[in-house]
Amino acid sequence: MRGSQGIDRTDADAIAGEGVEWSARLARLRTNEWRTPIFFEIVSQEIAARTGARRPTVLDIGCGLGFDNEIQYQQALSTQAGRFIGIEPDRAIDPPKLFTEVYHTSLEKAPIAPGSVDVAYAVMVLEHVSDPAAFWSRLREILAPGGVFVAFSVNGAHWFAPIARFMSIIKLKSKYLDLLQGKLGTERYEDYPVYYRTNTPRQIRRHTRQFRAVRTDLFGPAGNVASYAPGPLQPIVRAVDSLTYRLLGQSPNIAIRAER
């Protein structure tokens, strides 16, 4: 769907709770405005909407390197949370000292009580989920009634995703990124196996039937994946990406909002 807004399943209360600001912020994400502050505003708004007599319990899935690699935004979210839980599967990473508790494991194995989380979020994590059925089932279990999960990830229907997946399978992804961006852990971000099993609207609908309201939006300006190509090839990649967007309407990223 060109324009890429999709309210997949909702009801009147969910529409009222979501508000118009979600759409306005997603519109900004389709420009060249940098994504992280907008991601932060969206998550912060969800926390504020659930703040009353007590501050909400907030869960950061993949918390180790900050909020989209920015600790300042994670710090700001921690001041809104009553209980701030972090999940970081990579034991080599020591998350910032902002959390009430941190679990070095997957979401599925973390000892979080059912119905105890008001807002959960994941930034560039879903592409690494190998068992989406287990992930979404556990997520719904730990969310409180009316609790919400917000995620920002790679659009699995964009042409970039199968290329990245293929390079990961044949063990070339890390070597390529070493050559392009520098040594792992010092000059570039960590890279983990990618699966793209819950990264399209169709895949997400399949696993979220028990949620009260689910929304998916595609975003990201055409051409921004060119940064993953060597310098001389970037204009070509940018042109190809712009052409495929005009023909297929597939932006490189996806935003998900699922309310229990």
- Whole-prediction pTM: 0.86
CA distance 204 to 226: 27
Tell me: pLDDT of 115 over 60: yes
The position carrying tokens 């989920």 is 129
Please tell me the number of Cα atoms within 13 Å of 118 on its side-chain side.
Answer: 20
Domain residues of the chain, as ranges? 5-155+196-224+251-259
Which residue type, as a one-letter code, is found at position 142?
I
For the chain, the average pLDDT equals 86
CATH of domain 5-155+196-224+251-259: 3.40.50.150
The separation between CA 108 and the C-alpha centre of its own chain, rounded to angstroms, equals 17
Phi first, then psi: give them for residue 184, nearest 5 degrees.
-60, 135
Could you tell me which residue, 103 or 224, shows the higher pLDDT? 103
Neighbouring CB atoms inside 10 A of 113's CB total: 9
**CA angle (28, 30, 34) in 5-degree steps:** 65
Tell me: pLDDT of 246 over 50: yes
| Tens-place pLDDT, residues 37-55 | 999 999 999 999 999 989 9
Bridge pairing between strands 83-87 and 101-103: parallel
Please tell me the number of Cα atoms within 13 Å of 248 on its side-chain side.
Answer: 15
| Tens-place pLDDT, residues 70-92 | 999 999 999 999 999 999 999 98
Q: Which residue in 89, 77, 90, 159 sits closest to 121, CA to CA?
A: 77
**Encoded tokens for 68:** 């989209």
Bridge pairing between strands 143-154 and 213-219: unpaired
Q: Supply the DSSP string of 151-182, one letter for each residue.
A: EEEE-TTSTHHHHHHHHHHTT-HHHHHHHHH-
pLDDT of the residue at 176: 57
Lowest mean pLDDT among 10-19, 148-157, 207-216: 10-19
